[in-house]
Amino acid sequence: MRFLRFTSFFFLLLVLASFTRGDRPAYRLFTAAGQPVDYDQMLAELAQADVVLFGEQHNDALAHWLELQVAKDLLKLKKPGDLVLGMEMFERDVQPLVAHYAAGTLADTAFERQTRPWPNYGTDYRPLLQFARENHLAVIGTNAPRPFAKVVAQRSLTALDKLPAADRALLAPLPLKVDYDLPGYKNMAAMFGGDGKAHGGGAQNIIQAQALKDATMAHFIETSRQPGQTLLHFNGSYHSDHHDGIVAWLRQYAPKLRVKTISVVTQEELKTLDKEQVNVADFVVVVPGDASKTY
């Protein structure tokens, strides 16, 4: 009998091993240093943060699914009222509409007609808003309105010098002092073939427009959360990778905030984190290069 039990146990181990070898996970999760980490361990750390910046690739279906799961699971760990959602995808001038929709007092058709939602709103961001609506979560649109970012990209930040108070209220406190030595901004200067610090440099205005968005998101993240709350913010990964962008501005506005970052990256091989992705965020989600895209 003992021999039969041992044989059965050994067979079970072989079966489990075969399933492991044949496993095809949809994603893998790593720490900043490239060590595999458990989802629940990540979640416990996120729940202790004041701000969580979830950096996505905007067309990544797996990332959008995982964003919703993280929101659902964080809600289970937080007290009522202690989870707030923030979104790059909605600009400050439509925040009253976002708030009404989350509260259930604005119809879908009116919301989609008036808030300039992104083309992939229906598949990628509407589920987050529906989740917030069903669970009475506040939703904060954090981005600078597009016309302001556009005029800065064309004419520099000086174009905002004479804005009326009502318009200035939609942006980070002006004037902005841009640190062109931030790694993300230096990379932009290289990409656009100009010296970001040089007066009239080819990349300067574009960097300033990016800084306006980063600073505005950071400002409204900082001013929208209450003590004890975790604000889970969804943004393009470039706005928070390497603890740059939004994070750098948060350090200026509220240096004591506990900020955690997530970044979703694509790799052909999921078993280990590629060297160039090490330290890209506190937690790195690796998805397959051939994963489905929403556009």
Q: pLDDT per residue over 160-219, tens digit each?
A: 999 999 999 999 999 999 999 999 999 999 988 765 454 445 689 999 999 999 999 999
- The more confidently predicted of residues 37 and 7 is 37
Which pLDDT band, with edges at 50, 70 and 90, does 21 fall under? Answer: low
- Whether the CB-CB separation of 53 and 247 falls below 8 Å is answered with yes
What domains, with CATH codes, occur in the chain?
Answer: 27-288 (3.40.50.11550)
pLDDT tens digits, 224-258: 999 999 999 999 999 999 999 999 999 999 999 99
- Segment 22-50 shows an average pLDDT of 94
- Could you tell me the strand order of the sheet in which 83-91 lies? 28-31, 283-288, 259-267, 51-56, 230-236, 83-91, 139-143
- Segment 36-58 shows an average pLDDT of 97
- The more confidently predicted of residues 290 and 83 is 83
pLDDT tens digits, 85-112: 999 999 999 999 999 999 999 999 999 9
Q: Find the distance separating the first CA and the last CA of the chain, reported in whole Å.
A: 59
**How many angstroms separate the CA atoms of 13 and 16, rounded?**
5
Please name every residue paired with 230 in a beta bridge, in sequence order, or none if there are none. 83
**How many angstroms separate the CA atoms of 205 and 208, rounded?**
5
